[in-house]
Amino acid sequence: MAKEKKLVEQITSMDVDFAQWYTDVCKKAELMDYSSVKGCMIFRPYGYAIWENIQKNLDARFKELGHENVYMPMFIPESLLQREKDHVEGFAPECAWVTIGGQNKLAEKLCVRPTSETLFCEHFKNVIHSYRDLPKLYNQWCSVVRWEKTTRPFLRTSEFLWQEGHTMHETAEEARNETLTMLKVYEDFYRDALAIPAITGRKTEKEKFAGAEETYTIEPMMHNGVALQGGTTHYFGDGFAKAFDITFAGRDNTVRYPHQTSWGVSTRMIGAIIMTHGDDNGLILPPAVAPIQLAIIPVAQHKEGVLEKADELRRQLAKKFRVKLDDSDQSTGWKFSQYEMKGVPVRLEIGPKDIENNSCVLVSRVTREKKFVSLDNVIEEVEAMLNQVHNELCERVTKNLEEKTHVALNFEEFVEIAENKPGYIKAMWCGEVECEDKIKDVTGGIKSRCIPFNEEKLSDVCACCGKPAKHMVVWGRQY
């Protein structure tokens, strides 16, 4: 058999080697390729199409709330970056610097943006003068650079794509509301578009964003019980405004400082989709962001009328769904395996007997169950199966989250769970950073994920030190 005729190559079982399974899926589903630039990756068309669908969906949500897209330079002068002390210290280890322009050494070195707070602040100073200029609700789609020591496709790369929202407000209350509103946007998007219900809450002081007063996070759990910080929102207060001397004339005609937020998600969401929904046959894509929602596979396509009917269905269904008709000369079995591996939510099979019966076969990527449906109702049946795929993915994620979330009432229980049970650990905490450090050191890397909004009172004392508890924290390992 010629090489191009081979069935899809086998993917390493996730139970055998989860990391290798992940890499296999990224490569064999044609999501990405490696670059000659260390730590950077190439988005192949199929992988980038997922990002485009994510971007389109999120962008509409942002604009519905009044946010406008802008674009800032990719270079930050060193003097500008250093205006906010905590911020620059937090990013210093990951900064990439440009020191030569053309053939000349630069008078001041330039940082390739790791994030854009300082750039936005420089701009805000020039355009905010009065309370009438507020709020400023800006968002930017761009790439950023953080010089990572260890990289993994989509999850942690030296350059990655993201969106970063930056807003300025008249009052602290408005800015805090914005911070929580955008976290809710992320939470809804993860559930309704990515089919990933997740825990949300506030980061501890140790884990908050550099320069922020408060950081909030969404923490989806991957199939293997490891956390992925899925997105964050930050309330900065007026710290950046004071550092950059951003002022405005208030309603009482006094000089005031605006209150600032930022918030962002990145292409690591694609990694979350892979590791949350995928199986040993490859990707499973949630319908809302799948580049191909429906793959039409003609069976016995050499027989009269089959390809014509398949194309008729394609034209009919493409009015509502993202459809791919595969009329290539690959075998039917190869096509089935290929679109399963690429995570297409629904497959439609049409052959001579189906045409005679005015029917076709729909197959769910999640359950692989086949359903014979009338061609008279095919649009409604495809839509119903896509909704079913989304709901089943949500149910599987919720079940995995529940089954892999454990409770520890003391340190011995905490360590025992950490050593033997993958997943999240709910435990009370005294609020001291010493206990966070001890847990991380003793367990080999478990960190606080967040103080969840639906905080429970598991006991009165810290599970680490036994002192009076202030919060219940969700703990876990992370990518």
CATH topology of domain 18-277: BirA Bifunctional Protein; domain 2 (3.30.930)
Q: By mean pLDDT, which of 1-5, 104-108, 265-269, 460-464 is the weakest?
A: 1-5
Distance (Å) of CA 313 to CA 296, 299, 307? 8, 14, 10
Q: How far apart are CA 88 and CA 210, in angstroms?
A: 8
CATH superfamily of 294-391: Anticodon-binding domain (3.40.50.800)
Q: How far apart are CA 307 and CA 297, in angstroms?
A: 9
Q: How far apart are CA 129 and CA 138, in angstroms?
A: 17
Pairing of strands 424-429, 159-169: unpaired
Confidence bin at 8 (pLDDT 50/70/90): low
> Which part of the chain is CATH 3.40.50.800?
294-391
Q: What is the pLDDT of residue 2?
A: 38
User: Cβ neighbours of residue 404 under 8 Å, at least 6 residues apart?
Assistant: 221, 225, 421, 422, 423, 424
Domain formed by 405-476, architecture: 2-Layer Sandwich (3.30)
The distance of Cα 117 from the centroid of its chain, to the nearest Å, equals 21
> Which part of the chain is CATH 3.30.110.30?
405-476
**Percent over 70 (pLDDT), the chain:** 98
Average pLDDT over residues 168-184: 98
Instruction: Answer for the pair 274, 283: CB distance below 8 angstroms, yes or no.
Output: yes
Burial class (CB in 10 A: 0-12, 13-18, 19+), 261: buried
Q: Tell me: the pLDDT tens digits for 377-410? A: 999 999 999 999 999 999 999 999 999 999 999 9
Distance (Å) of CA 395 to CA 187, 231, 369, 399, 402? 16, 22, 17, 6, 11
Ramachandran bin of 125, using left for φ above 0, alpha for ψ from -120 to 50, beta for the remaining angles:
alpha
Average pLDDT over residues 430-453: 97
> Which part of the chain is CATH 3.30.930.10?
18-277
Nearest one of 62, 11, 57 to 290, comparing CA atoms: 57
